Amino acid sequence: MNKDSTLNKLESMLESFLEVVVAQNEEKIEVQGAISRLDDIAHGIQEGNDLTADMGEWFARHNHWLGTELLKKEERSRIDEIFKEIRRELRVSEDSSPAIGKIASEIDRWQNVSRQGGHKVVLKRGPEIAPLPRTSEDLDVTVGLFQNQMERLGSLFASAAGRKQHLLSVLDDTLNSASIQKNKDALILSALIIYCLKQSGYLVKPYIERLREAEELQKGAPSRA
Amino acid sequence: MLSPSEKAYYFALQSLKEKRYSLASDYFDRAAPEFSQEREFILLRETIRLLVAVKRELQSGSDNSRLDLEEVFTNG
């Protein structure tokens, strides 16, 4: 085997090895690219450039990472650090444009999700009072009761939603109904809406606190369904 | 914010992905101040250095592949 042939083989082996390394680090490279881009945007904002469109594009491309396990702890920390710098430069006020307000709230959302980490929201209910179904007839009654409740929840939601644009407004109404009117169905519907919002990456802690307060109020008074 | 070494490391990996090995090697050199103690970094950097050297050798070898022929006339 001559020298060139050996070198060609070596070249091929080294390239194959590097291709495997790149393939195994595809996600890492993508994340680092996003962090690098965010860093560029932060520098641009610090220099006084209007990069709200770039920021919006960054969120559009990477918001789906929220609520996933893609980002490692140190990567999330780097993103948080850069967000802090950007947030400091944004100086949101009443005169700020809607775009800046939106970017500030998106940054806050990322940082809130980061702070929550891997904590799960557990909505606890009291122990079962009714006995477990022993016969198929019992099971049918339980299913039937639940079906009725689902229908009532559906009607209640339609009534609360009305012409409202956002689910948060509906939640506000159902929580008020659960607290003030001691409406049990409103309490359950509120819990369901909170869980849906949580799954979509919304900050729900204040609403969980209100739900708990409503639950406590209902425990102390006869409930309405 | 990212340090120059961190930026360089990202560009090194990006260049590697694009198979721009000579450029990747340069970026790895720039990233070295911060990452030269990391095993994965060392492995990648040295592998790319070797690959670049092999490519250079192959390139110079092909330049020397021409044979210069010289006719020698003997008496008679």
- pLDDT tens digits along A23-54: 998 888 999 999 999 999 988 888 887 788 88
Q: Does A85 touch chain B (CB under 8 A)?
A: yes
Instruction: Check CB contact under 8 Å for A3 and B54.
Output: no
Tell me what the mean pLDDT of segment A162-172 comes to: 80
Does the pLDDT at position A110 exceed 80?
Answer: yes
User: Which pLDDT score, from 0 to 100, does residue A115 have?
Assistant: 65
B51 with A11: Cβ contact below 8 A: yes
Inter-chain CB proximity B51 and A18 less than 8 Å:
yes
For residue B50, the chain A residues in CB contact (below 8 A) are 14
pLDDT band at A185 (very low <50, low <70, confident <90, very high): confident
Residue from A219, A138, A142 nearest A179 by CA: A219
CB contact under 8 A, A7 and B44: no
CB contact under 8 A, B13 and A25: yes
Instruction: Choose among B7, B11, B58: nearest Cβ to A7.
Output: B58
Pick among B1, B28, B55, B56 to test the A interface (most A CBs inside 10 A): B1
In this prediction, residue A168 has a pLDDT band, given cuts at 50, 70 and 90, of confident
Query: Cβ separation of A15 and B51 shorter than 8 Å?
Result: yes
Distance CA A179, CA A12 (A): 71
ipTM of the complex: 0.79
Beta bridge partners of A183: A224
pLDDT bin (cut points 50, 70, 90) of residue A134 is low
SS3 call for A183: strand
C-beta separation of A171 from A188 below 8 A? no
Predicted confidence (pLDDT) per residue in A45-83, tens digit: 888 877 888 888 898 888 888 777 778 888 888 898 899
Judge whether B59 is closer than 8 Å to chain A, CB to CB: no
The confidence band for A201, taking pLDDT boundaries of 50, 70 and 90, is confident
**Mean pLDDT of the residues in chain A:** 80
Residue A164 has pLDDT above 70, yes or no: yes
Backbone angles phi, psi at A92, to 5 degrees: -70, 130
Distance of CA B13 to the CA centre of its chain: 14
**Interface contact A78-B44, CB threshold 8 A:** no
Q: Which helix (H) or strand (E) holds B35?
A: helix B21-35
Helices marked H in A91-135 — which ranges?
A: 98-116
When CB atoms are compared, the residue of B10, B47, B57 closest to A7 is: B57
* Conformational region of residue A203, where left means phi above 0, alpha means psi within -120 to 50, and beta covers everything else: beta
- ∠ Cα B50 B54 B58 (to 5°): 170
pLDDT, position A114: 66
* pLDDT over threshold 80, residue A113: no
B16 neighbourhood in chain A, CB within 8 Å: 18, 21-22
Q: From the CB of residue A118, how many other CB atoms can be counted at a distance below 10 Å?
A: 5
Tell me how many degrees the CA angle B3-A30-A115 measures, rounded to the nearest 5. Answer: 70
Candidates A179, A92, A171, A24; CA nearest to B17 is A24
Q: Give the position of tokens 């809130």.
A: A112
